[in-house]
């Protein structure tokens, strides 16, 4: 079970955060389950394994993918696990712009640590009843 939480976007008004999503997916397709905890080849080599995390007794492989273009930065923190024959993928997706592209005082840099804490709070509900 995964609880849906709303992250108040007002917190990020007048910052360089463009969008942030907590994405959750699950598949029991055998081909997907077989490669579930491997890095995604479609990420053009940008996805790198970065460790493991345990949430409510479930072990997840963690990888990261980053990209940039035209003053935009994209970051994904990807958690994958096979549980009872199903591949679960939980992604923190963050898109922000280069703070240096703005006139001084127009926007402030978003609080990345606070955003990750909110994502972690959502993730902490995985597997709870």
Looking at the predicted structure, is the pLDDT value of residue 99 above 90? yes
Residue the block writes with tokens 């949430």: 55
Predicted confidence at residue 82, as pLDDT, reads: 97
Predicted confidence at residue 42, as pLDDT, reads: 63
Looking at the predicted structure, is the pLDDT value of residue 26 above 90? yes
Question: Are 76 and 93 contacting, i.e. CB atoms less than 8 angstroms apart?
Answer: yes
Looking at the predicted structure, is the pLDDT value of residue 3 above 80? no
Q: What number of other Cβ atoms are within 10 A of residue 77's Cβ?
A: 20
Rounded Cα distance, 96 and 119, in Å: 16
| Mean pLDDT, range 45-51, rounded to an integer | 82
Assessment of whether the complete model's pTM goes beyond 0.85:
yes
Q: How far is CA 122 from CA 26, 55, 97, 98, in A?
A: 16, 11, 24, 27
Q: Report the sign of the C-alpha dihedral through residues 49, 53, 55, 59, in that order.
A: positive
Q: What's the mean per-residue pLDDT of the chain?
A: 89
Looking at the predicted structure, is the pLDDT value of residue 44 above 80? no
Three-state DSSP class for residue 105 = coil
């Amino acid at each position: 079970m995964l609880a849906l939480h709303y992250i108040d976007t007002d917190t990020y008004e007048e910052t360089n955060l463009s969008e942030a999503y907590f994405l959750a997916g699950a598949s029991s397709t055998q081909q997907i389950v077989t490669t579930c905890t491997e890095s995604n080849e479609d990420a053009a080599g940008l996805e790198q394994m970065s460790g493991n995390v345990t949430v409510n007794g479930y072990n997840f492989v963690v990888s990261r993918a980053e990209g940039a273009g035209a003053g935009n930065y994209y970051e994904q923190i990807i958690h994958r696990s096979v549980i009872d024959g199903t591949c679960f993928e939980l992604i923190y997706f963050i898109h922000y712009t280069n703070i240096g592209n703005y006139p001084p005082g127009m926007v402030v840099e978003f609080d990345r640590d606070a955003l990750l804490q909110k994502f972690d709070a959502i993730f902490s509900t995985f597997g709870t009843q």
